[in-house]
Structures are given as structure tokens and as C-alpha cells.
Amino acid sequence: MNFGPVINALALPSDARVDHRVPKKLLTEQGAPTAPDKRQIQDGIEELLWVAALKPTNIAVPAFRDDVREYLEIAVLTATLRAGAKPARLVELIHRAIPYPLVLVAAHGDTVSLSLAHKRWSQGETGKVVIEDVHRTAPFRPDTPTAQEASFLASLAVSSLPSRDLFALYQGWLDRVAALEAARITGTFAPPDSAGRASALRDGLDTHARLQRDLALLRAKAGKEKQLNRRVELNLEIKRLEAQLGKVGSQL
């Protein structure tokens, strides 16, 4: 897999590069809570490469500390997954195993996905770091991106991200992942230009996904319904949700 288009899009400074292989043993020790997870790591990962470590000293962006989290550096890794791998679970396990906020570019077949997840201090174990939600792009072909994917890649350069501190910079990447998800609905890639717009975009995407799930359930139910009156009621509810879905999509 050619990771070049994505790594080049990040425009990482040369003195941040690491380019070291990460042993799978590290993942099984740090990020695999169960025996099946350990097997997934062993059987599903071909290679894991630590590409770069972004620090205040090499990107001139201050560290971030508060009562919830501490961001001293951001790690950039690539993962080559084998054909029979389960990408979603492996991506989560890799994020769990790396103690720093992570930009992970994972290849599966001829597609890649980019994922990020904020980290915070564990409330149950002093000194332990846990991940929040993993946000991952849909798989795409980096050599032949769509117009929206090309715009997404063009927005990823470190120098174009918020530079107040490492938390803000990392959130900038997360906002671009959300904007790409919205672009698959609207057809236009538009990264949020404020914290308020970013929050509204996340809420809108959550609502859109919920409505899609509700619609799928209703359509399946309507397809099995035998009573005409009840089928009419379900179809009316489907039309109402479709209208709501369209409205939410137009506001993304």
C-alpha cells in the first residue's frame, strides 16, 4: 500500500520523523484486553510503522494540560492490515495501545482510512490514559480520491491547523474528519471555521446517523407488516423521517 498521498498531505516536518517499526508485542501487551484481541493483532496486522512524533520542539505548538488530559506530543502511525483483518476493531486496539493522541493511517486492501481519538486520564486508575470515541473516515483510495477526498487531503497540513496548543491542533484534524463525513452527504467539503460550527456539525452528523438507523428499522418493519392500516401508518412515519433527514442533511 502506498501511504505517500496521505503522509505527504500531513506535511510533517523532517525533524519530527521517526520511521521505526512498532513490534506487535507492544500492542498485545498494552492494547489487547482479551485473548481474541491478541489473536486479531497477531493475525490481522502486517506492519505497524511509527512515522512521526509531533512535539512543541519540532512544530512550535505548545503542549496542553488540564485536569482531564495532557498532550505532550502527537504520534503519527501507519498500519498495514491483512486481507482477513477486522479493521474497525484493530484501529481501536491500536489507539488504545499508544499512550499519545494518535493520527492513524490504516491500509486494508487498496484503501486507507484515517482515524483519531482524544485521550484523557482514567478516572479509575491513576496515571492510566484511556481513549474517548474513535473517529474514522470511510475507506478511500488515496491514489484516486474523489473531489471531496482530495479537498480533505489538501486540508491536513500541520501548518494549516489551529496552533494554540496540541489539543487544538489535534481537534483540527478531528474537525476535518467530521467535515469529510458531512461531505459524503452534502457533496461539499467544508471544514468548520469555529468551535460552535464544529460542535453543530458533530451534533448534526449524530442526528443524521440516528435517523438513518431509525429509517432502516421502519422500512424493514413496513416490509413485513401484513395489516394495511398499520402499513399506511408506517409509511407516513417513514416519509416524516425522510423529510427530517433531508432537513438535517441540508444543515450540515
In the chain, where are the structural domains located?
4-191, 201-250
**Helix intervals (H) in 105-227:** 147-154, 166-186, 195-224
Each of the 252 residues of the chain gets a pLDDT tens digit; together they read: 679 999 999 999 999 999 999 998 888 877 667 888 888 888 999 999 999 999 999 999 999 999 999 999 999 999 999 998 899 999 999 999 898 999 999 999 999 999 999 999 988 777 788 898 899 999 999 999 999 999 999 999 999 999 999 999 999 999 999 999 999 999 999 999 888 898 899 889 999 999 999 999 988 888 888 888 888 888 898 999 889 888 888 888
Beta-carbon contacts of residue 154 (< 8 Å; ≥ 6 apart): 9
What's the confidence (pLDDT) of residue 143?
92
What's the confidence (pLDDT) of residue 31?
67
3-state helix, strand, coil in the chain (%, to 5): 50, 20, 30
3-state class of 199 per DSSP? helix
What's the confidence (pLDDT) of residue 61?
97
What's the distance, CA 233 to chain centroid? 38
Taking CA atoms, 9 is separated from 15, 54, 146, 152, 185, in Å, by 17, 15, 15, 9, 23
